[in-house]
Chain A
Amino acid sequence: MNRSIGVTLNALGLYGIALVLVAAFAGQILLNELPCPLCLLQRVLFSLLAIGPILNIRLGPRPSHYALSLLAAVVGATVSARQILLHIMPRDPGYGSALLGYHYYTWAFIGFAGAIILISIVLLLDDRQRDDKVATPVGLFAGGAVWLVIGLTAINAVSTLLECGYAACPDNPTFYELLRPIR
């Protein structure tokens, strides 16, 4: 696998992460369902999952960059599995609305597990990874993916501040703390 294919695959991975973050935002804005603490942590870990591809796009694919994403994906899968188990009892409606039959945390688990599998396959196929020391020019497709994920992470930071304010996030948030009318 040459560098250009590796960079393209990493850019596609970033677009996939952006899709997950956009879907979460769509649920939050359109359905007015505020994310719970574990939901927010899963978003944080999807953002952390993006660090490996960003480094791969800038400096060229390396096993150590893929290892970062693997670590983030394992922690993300653990957190989403925990939330699945919280709602596994019969008659438990789950947290939030379901999308195509699954709640966000179930999709998150599938996403993190899929990332682990895909990264492992890329590492299997790409056993002659280059060890570039310097950054190389990045195309619009890959650069756009990086900026999209950075922008979505920034929007998440603002949204989380509005939701939780300056205190700990409530377990079951129903309104934006900083948008509450001042009495």
Chain B
Amino acid sequence: MEFTVLFLSVLVVMAVSWWGSRRLALALFSIVLAASVATYLHHATDTLNLSF
């Protein structure tokens, strides 16, 4: 679900970049990038199933 939300958020940023204000696009980009980093850090703490 979190990745669906991220993709939809990127779509919103793209739409604002193409039609809306530049300042809003930059602000939304920062939020989505921070959310992506947070998602990465969340998955970085997953237990690793080593395959050897």
Interface residues of A (CB under 8 A from B): 37-38, 40-41, 43-45, 47-48, 50-51, 54-55, 58-59, 64, 68, 71-72, 75, 78-79, 82, 86-87, 89-93, 146, 149-150, 153-154, 156-157, 160-161, 164-169, 171
Contacts and interface: CB of A to CB of B under 8 A. Distances in A.
Given A48-B33, A48-B36, A161 B18 contact: no
A43 B6 CA distance: 10
B14 A150 contact: yes
Interface string B1-37: 1111011101101110110001001100100110011
Query: Taking chain B's interface residues, is the majority helix, strand, or loop, or is none over half, making it mixed?
Result: helix
Query: Taking chain A's interface residues, is the majority helix, strand, or loop, or is none over half, making it mixed?
Result: helix
A4 B44 CA distance: 42
Contacts of B17: 51, 54-55, 58
Given A38-B43, A41-B43, A89-B50, A153 B3 contact: no
Given A38-B43, A75-B33, 20 more contacts: A41-B6, A41-B36, A41-B39, A44-B10, A48-B10, A48-B29, A58-B18, A68-B29, A79-B40, A87-B51, A90-B52, A154-B7, A156-B7, A157-B4, A160-B4, A164-B4, A165-B1, A166-B1, A169-B3, A171-B46
